[in-house]
């Protein structure tokens, strides 16, 4: 008791009062972390970081009061900082309950544009425990009024103030170091705003986001419409007219995009221990119903999966640093695939078993024009149903049916798979695939998760066939980026029949191939194409297959089927590959000999011209996106997307409401099936579902004819 009295007596000093306020704010921040925010803590180290991260910035801000000599300034200033910080915390609590995300500076400044219904629903978003966010301030004021806490008139020596500031900065440095240890490139790649809050705290996130917003704002404030002229000249010069035989071959069909996480081309037709790694994808790849590409490369940078989505949806490159989705996705103007399809009479949707805020998808998808986003909140991700990056693939495809069947046709839908993601872990009961033994667990397990992904797609195709969707759909399958990093490629080399001692940068570049397939069940003219291309080429190719000419849009790729297609593939770091030559760090390799060469004469000029083309494309794309120049460009017939038109919180209800409104005119699969669910048509051997008929389902799926058209 005596010890407590001595400790409490210190609150009567300015330093003690600051420590009390820091402690109280730390406590209510932890309430927000553990009760209101979903920070996805995965290990004790992250738990430790969570306990530490509110302290540094709180001590730094509250400690500023120590520099005031007079008590009449010290106490009001400290309370003002506490109130503002509490307000920031509480606003984020309310916002998180509605959007499962944190408020950015641009969101705060343009709050009315976030969601017109949020202000009206704020009261409904409150909770009884919210009193804890404000109770400490009330209690402290009462204690001061009743003189249980005395006002200290004595100023604090400036050296004490400097010591507190220095300690706060040192603690923040330690905090940042711990965050970087657990999540490398935390601030440069910015996977998810949740990550920054989890590792550095809400105050640090707000400052960090404010700096980024200011940089973006400065770029945009000086942007002029005239800057589009050079970009338009480049795009129009490099436009490739569609292949007349294939233009519109899939017109009015559904488009189903399957995004293969970390899936590289070498997996196709690969055997391990005598067993095919991806037997179903192998059949699709070789089918006459499929156009496949064996020289197709990913072109992602630090944004990885989000960069792949950027190229797929917008026809522009990801940024040179970080992710376009997280840095610019909140308020950039896009003329993207979802909006283009929407304005062509399509329903647009995404299915993804991760949280909506990851890569800022919840906001970016609205600006891209997606009508529906079925994220982790729509699925049961409890227990062993999910891995580090979300719902397992078999469960994603299976559980998506209850939503997919209610979408009006034709639709443009995208499935983002996650199970084949680093570190490639999978529960034993999910796969019996026998892995290789390279000595590198990452490489070994990669084949197991890839095999699981293949099985997932096979089950989904079985449903497409049984439900009747297959015959009226184009299924586009592509790999988003590498799975095995360059540091592990030598371990992989043996499996590829290459001597690890001979492996070099050229081999690393060539290994960046990923699959690309356009599968149309019932089609018979498909084949394996050897054309060189990259992810930047996907959008114009897909649009032309659907009978939509890409010429009026600003896109940096070209139709892979066009005779005018440019076969140079630009990597985000300005390296490139082409049918004849490869450039890595300004070193040129001959694809024929796989050896370094030193070009002279005409070849040197040709190489220089290719590099100039690559640089200009990347520069123009960066300028277009960073300065938001598309706000100045208005293609004929295209309506600018208004993000406030979309709300992803009630997807199923919206789809069902539309079905009832359309009545007999509804084109959803559910309506076409006599208002009966098609979920029973889906067969899966996913052990998490505990089906009694798991074994019989597995047999049926194994023996059923594939829908590849072969």
In contact, 171 and 63? CB cutoff 8 Å = no
User: What residues have CB less than 8 Å from 608, skipping those under 6 apart?
Assistant: none
Which residue is associated with the tokens 């008791």? 1
Our separate counts of H helices and E strands in the chain read: 26, 17
405: which 2 tokens? 């069947």
Is 475 within 8 Å of 414 (Cβ atoms)? no
Phi-psi region of 613 (alpha: psi -120 to 50; beta: other; left: phi over 0): alpha
Phi, psi of 411 (to 5 degrees): -130, 155
Contact in structure between 208 and 187 (CB atoms under 8 Å): yes
Conformational region of residue 452, where left means phi above 0, alpha means psi within -120 to 50, and beta covers everything else: alpha
| Beta strand segments in 567-678, E | 569-570, 576-577, 581-584, 587-590, 596-597
Q: Supply 421's token pair.
A: 């993601």
Classify the phi-psi angles of 343: left when phi > 0, otherwise alpha if psi is within -120 to 50, otherwise beta: alpha
Displacement of CA 60 from its chain's centroid (Å): 33
Query: Is 261 known as a binding-site position?
Result: yes
Nearest to 219 by CA among 640, 643, 625, 632: 625
Is 305 a known active-site residue?
Answer: yes
305 is in an annotated binding site: yes
Burial class for 425, CB neighbours closer than 10 Å (0-12, 13-18, 19+): middle
Catalytic residue among 305, 364, 449, 541: 305
Q: Are 397 and 416 in contact (CB under 8 A)?
A: no
- Is 438 annotated in a binding site? The answer is no
Q: Just list the catalytic residues.
A: 305
Binding-site members for Mn(2+) are 261, 305, 480-481
Binding-site members are 261, 305, 421, 480-481
């Amino acid at each position: 008791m005596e010890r407590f009295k001595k400790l409490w007596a210190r609150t009567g000093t300015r330093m003690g009062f600051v420590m009390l306020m820091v402690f109280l704010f730390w406590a209510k921040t932890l309430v927000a972390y553990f009760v209101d925010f979903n920070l996805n803590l995965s290990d004790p180290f992250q738990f430790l970081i969570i306990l530490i991260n509110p302290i540094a910035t709180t001590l730094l801000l509250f400690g500023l009061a120590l520099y005031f000599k007079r008590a009449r300034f010290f106490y009001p200033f400290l309370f003002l900082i506490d109130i503002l910080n509490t307000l920031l915390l509480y606003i984020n609590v309310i916002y998180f309950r509605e959007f499962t995300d944190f408020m950015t500076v641009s969101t705060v400044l343009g709050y009315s544009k976030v969601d017109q219904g949020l202000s009206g629903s704020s009261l409904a978003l409150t909770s009884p425990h919210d009193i804890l966010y404000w109770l400490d301030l009330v209690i402290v004021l009462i204690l001061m009024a009743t003189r249980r806490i005395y006002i200290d008139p004595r100023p604090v020596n400036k050296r004490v103030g400097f010591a507190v500031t220095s300690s706060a900065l040192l603690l923040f440095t330690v905090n940042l170091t711990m965050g970087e240890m657990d999540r490398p490139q935390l601030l440069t790649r910015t996977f998810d705003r949740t990550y920054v809050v989890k590792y550095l705290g809400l105050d640090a996130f707000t400052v960090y986001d404010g700096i980024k917003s200011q940089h973006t704002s400065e770029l945009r404030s000086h942007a002029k419409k005239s800057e589009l002229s050079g970009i338009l000249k480049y795009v129009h010069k490099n436009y490739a007219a569609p292949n007349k035989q294939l233009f519109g071959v899939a017109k009015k069909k559904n488009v189903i995009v399957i995004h293969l996480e970390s899936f590289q081309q070498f997996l196709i037709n690969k055997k391990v221990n005598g067993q095919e790694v991806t037997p179903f994808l192998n059949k699709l790849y070789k089918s006459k119903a499929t156009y496949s590409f064996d020289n197709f490369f990913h072109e992602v940078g630090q944004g990885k999966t989000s960069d792949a989505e950027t190229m797929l949806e917008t026809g522009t490159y990801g940024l040179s640093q970080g992710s376009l989705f997280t840095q610019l996705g909140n308020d950039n103007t896009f003329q993207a695939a979802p909006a283009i399809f929407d304005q062509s009479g399509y329903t647009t949707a995404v299915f993804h078993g991760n949280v909506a805020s990851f890569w800022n998808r919840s906001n970016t998808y609205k600006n891209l024009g997606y009508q529906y986003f079925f994220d982790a909140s729509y699925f049961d991700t409890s227990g062993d149903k999910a891995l580090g990056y979300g719902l397992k693939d078999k469960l994603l495809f299976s559980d998506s049916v209850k939503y997919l069947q209610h979408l009006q046709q034709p639709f443009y839908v995208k499935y983002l798979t996650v199970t084949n993601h680093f570190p490639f872990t999978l529960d034993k009961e999910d796969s019996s695939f026998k892995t290789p033994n390279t000595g590198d667990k990452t490489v070994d397990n990669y084949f197991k998760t890839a095999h699981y992904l293949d099985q997932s797609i096979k089950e989904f195709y079985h449903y497409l066939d049984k439900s009747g969707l297959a015959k009226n759909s184009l299924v586009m399958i592509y790999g988003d980026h590498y799975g095995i990093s360059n540091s592990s490629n030598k371990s992989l080399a043996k499996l590829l029949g290459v001597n690890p001692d001979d492996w070099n940068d050229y081999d690393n570049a060539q290994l960046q191939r990923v699959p690309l397939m356009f599968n149309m069940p019932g089609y018979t003219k498909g084949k394996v194409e050897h054309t060189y291309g990259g992810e930047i080429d996907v959008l114009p190719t897909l649009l032309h297959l659907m009978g939509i000419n890409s010429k009026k849009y600003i896109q940096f790729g070209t139709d892979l089927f066009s005779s005018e297609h440019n076969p140079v593939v630009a990597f985000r770091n300005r390296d490139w590959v082409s049918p004849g030559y490869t450039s890595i760090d300004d070193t040129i390799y001959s694809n024929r000999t796989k050896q370094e060469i030193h070009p002279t004469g005409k070849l040197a000029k040709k190489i220089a011209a290719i590099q100039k083309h690559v640089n200009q494309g990347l520069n123009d794309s960066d300028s277009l996106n960073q300065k938001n120049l598309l706000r100045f460009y208005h293609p004929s017939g295209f309506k600018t997307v208004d993000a406030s038109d979309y709300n992803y919180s009630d997807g199923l209800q919206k789809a069902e409401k539309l079905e009832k409104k359309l009545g007999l005119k509804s084109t959803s699969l559910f309506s076409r099936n006599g208002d009966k669910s098609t979920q029973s048509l889906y067969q899966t051997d996913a052990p998490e579902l505990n089906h009694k008929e798991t074994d019989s389902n597995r047999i049926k799926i194994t023996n059923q004819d594939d829908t590849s058209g072969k």
